A = this chain, B = another copy of it.
Amino acid sequence: MVTIKDVAREANMSVATVSRVLNGSGPVSEKTRRLIREVAGQMRYVPHSGARSLITSKTETLGVLLPDLYGEFFSEVIRGMDDTAQRNGFHLLISRAYADRHGIETAIRAMRGRVDGVVVMSPDLDAESLLNIPSTMPVVLLCSVSRGNGIDSLTIQNCRGAREMVGHLVSLGHRRIAIIKGSPRNYDSAERLRGYRIALRDAGIVPDTSLELAGNFTEAGGYAAAIELLAMRVRPTAIFAANDSMAIGALSALRESGVEVPEEMAVAGFDDIPLARYMDPPLSSVHVPICELGARAVEILLEGITQKNGHARKRERVSTKLVIRSSTGRQPAERPPPQTLNREMASV
């Protein structure tokens, strides 16, 4: 590999001058500039970023720690992150890690010296466990919060979103509204449940804990919960699932039992995954702007990196949007024109 020394020797200049030309720092005569550019180009010299970051102590790379995510969420959040990172001249070092305390700490250690900061997504973590994240570098928590130490965090407006959706069900006349909860110990899950309860309270509906069913964010979980609901003496008239996967599972169960949706039972989800609009009937959901979530996380992290001095601890939320389709009630059939059915699925 050709180094800056090789270029210097070839051009009969010192490494300092070569460095100055290549970085546009310091004064260099026009003649030398041209010469060195020429030689460097000829020799196909490419600066060694590792060496550079050792001395500048900037890697221009951001670490991203993600749990084992599937599908759309993963790709969209990374898209948002990468866009923002690239626009600021940063790279992304991505690592999937077990979302437990040890996994995260190990992963962060492994990143020391390779990144300038990390976005950590650990939805299944207790706020407790995050207290001691080694704060040797800027960290932004995604979809969870940490109390105590001043770690920035960015979350979804889970509570508000859930509240709006349940409020919508109420406005349609529903009084017995069940919820299929998400994974226990999950931040998003807890917040969505909270929103559900607030909405009921707002409507003056007395809470009925038998309508709060356990779930785990999977279709199978939604299916099982729906079966359970159908077996109740007095069935609810609406189901709010804490995410779309469970709502889809519930829809399967209802269809198999011959229950009409939304006539006999309204169903709503959360996330607005692409599949939602393809369900039969199309699923009402709470839209989460995933791409923006990633983008904003990186923005916050970059702020933390550049203004490392006075940087007030941040806690932000990205806002959600209600998407009402037919699974919650009579709606003008949303029949998307094919041009916008879904974004291009590249190549394969």
Instruction: Provide the bound-state CA to CA distance between A343 and B53, in Å.
Output: 40
Evaluate contact between A156 and B348: CB separation under 8 angstroms.
Answer: yes
What distance in Å separates the Cβ of A304 from its nearest Cβ neighbour in chain B? 16
Known contacts A275-B278, A347-B217; decide if A113 and B69 are in contact (CB<8 Å): no
| Copies, count | 2
Evaluate contact between A74 and B74: CB separation under 8 angstroms.
Answer: yes
Instruction: Provide the bound-state CA to CA distance between A279 and B47, in Å.
Output: 51
What distance in Å separates the Cβ of A7 from its nearest Cβ neighbour in chain B? 14
Q: Does A182 sit within 8 A of B, measured CB to CB?
A: yes
Q: Does A48 sit within 8 A of B, measured CB to CB?
A: yes
Interface 9-mer from A85-93, A194-202, A308-316: A85-93
Instruction: Provide the bound-state CA to CA distance between A183 and B345, in Å.
Output: 12
Known contacts A71-B72, A271-B348, A348-B188; decide if A114 and B61 are in contact (CB<8 Å): yes
Residue of B nearest to A271 (CB): B348
Evaluate contact between B345 and A109: CB separation under 8 angstroms.
Answer: no
Interface size on A, residues (CB 8 A): 82
Residue of B nearest to A186 (CB): B347
Evaluate contact between A91 and B112: CB separation under 8 angstroms.
Answer: no
Evaluate contact between B91 and A217: CB separation under 8 angstroms.
Answer: no
Instruction: Provide the bound-state CA to CA distance between A339 and B223, in Å.
Output: 8
Q: Which of A67, A91, A249, A275 has the most CB of B within 10 A?
A: A91
Give A residues with C-beta under 8 Å from B.
Answer: 1, 44, 46-54, 59, 61, 67-75, 78-79, 82-83, 86, 91-96, 109-114, 123-124, 134, 136, 143, 156, 182-183, 186, 188-189, 217-220, 222-223, 243-245, 248-249, 252-253, 271, 273-275, 278-280, 288, 290, 338-339, 341-348
| Inter-chain pairs besides A70-B345, A93-B93, A183-B347, 17 sampled, C-beta below 8 Å | A49-B114, A50-B113, A69-B346, A69-B347, A70-B343, A71-B72, A78-B78, A92-B95, A156-B348, A182-B347, A188-B348, A217-B346, A219-B339, A222-B338, A243-B345, A243-B348, A288-B348
